[in-house]
Amino acid sequence: MIISKNISLKEFTTIKIGGKAKKIFFPENISDINDLVDVVKKPKTLVLGKGSNIAFKDNGYNDDIISFKHFDRKGLHILNKKYIDVTAGISCSRLAKYCNKLLIPGFEFLHGIPGTIGGALAMNAGAFNQEIWNHVHSVTFVNKKGMLLSLPKKRFVTSYRKVEKSDVMMFVQANLIINKKIKFDANLLNSYSEKRIKTQPINQNSSGCIFRNPTKGYSASLLIDKLNIKSKRIGGVYISTKHCNYFINDGTGTCNDLENLIRYVKNRVKKEFNISLEKEICIY
């Protein structure tokens, strides 16, 4: 297991914002996870996947972090022709491409989601009207006492971008259902990919969507768009002109810039539409 100290958190978030981490642990297998029991039990220990949907304060994070960057990179298999056995450190895009290559339908929506399977499970990530927990059969996770447990999907309550996981410290593996009733569409993955390229700021320093969609009738991006504040900038962070629920760090942005821009947009939406936007990004 690799352990790094006093390392910049900018390298571990897709928006490239944050001070230094006091200590980051990089488990490579279940044995390493078991060695982290004492770290897991600490109330302020954080778990990182690819670092999307998260930013850190400018003064850094003074408690322990567990990163899945190097965790079981070969952990992707077909199980009994019924399930996809995938570990938490595998990226969403890699899983989508793997399934596409094997002509397995249903997982194309994961292509382009800038995170790992562990992170996707933790927040019920989704796109194109699909969510990952719709495909889950069972999961293996570490609870907050450091115990490794496996439970079926029915033991979890999920909703839009949320999973009730009060006893879950980190997901380490999932069995995803291969739905043989869905017809494989060889063009679907590329179609989703092209749509993302046209509508989202690909290959820029972004965390993904900043705000959750408040209701089925209104998307956060629609509300922000109606304010006519595209390209609004505070310091080194600005609203994307391609998708206004994405905030971009030009390389000089700070967490203070990001939080001020979030606050500005929330206040404007509340004033104009009397709707309170809820952050999707987590800031520590």
- Per the structure block, which two tokens stand in for 231? 């390209």
The tally of CA atoms less than 13 A away on the side-chain side of residue 46 is 21
Q: How many residues does the chain have?
A: 284
Q: What angle do CA 13, 14, 15 make, to 5 degrees?
A: 90
Q: Which residue in 92, 99, 209, 244 is the catalytic one?
A: 209
- Please list the residues that pair with 116 across neighbouring strands: 91
* 209 given a catalytic annotation: yes
CB–CB of 51/71 below 8 Å? no
The token duo for 96 is 């989508």
Which of 28, 94, 233, 280 is an active site residue?
280
Paired strand residues for 23 = 5, 64
> d(Cα 276, Cα 270) in Å, to the nearest integer?
6
The SS3 call for residue 200 is coil
DSSP string of 108-158?
GGGTT--SBHHHHHHHT-EETTEEGGGGEEEEEEEETTS-EEEEEGGGS-E
Q: Terminal CA-to-CA distance of the chain, rounded, Å? A: 24
Selecting among 28, 94, 161, 196, the annotated active-site residue is 161
CA atoms within 13 A on the CB side of 42: 12
28 is catalytic: no
DSSP state string for 7-28: EEGGGGSTT----EEEEEEE--
Contact 111/126 with Cβ under 8 angstroms?
no
Residue positions annotated with a catalytic role:
161, 209, 280
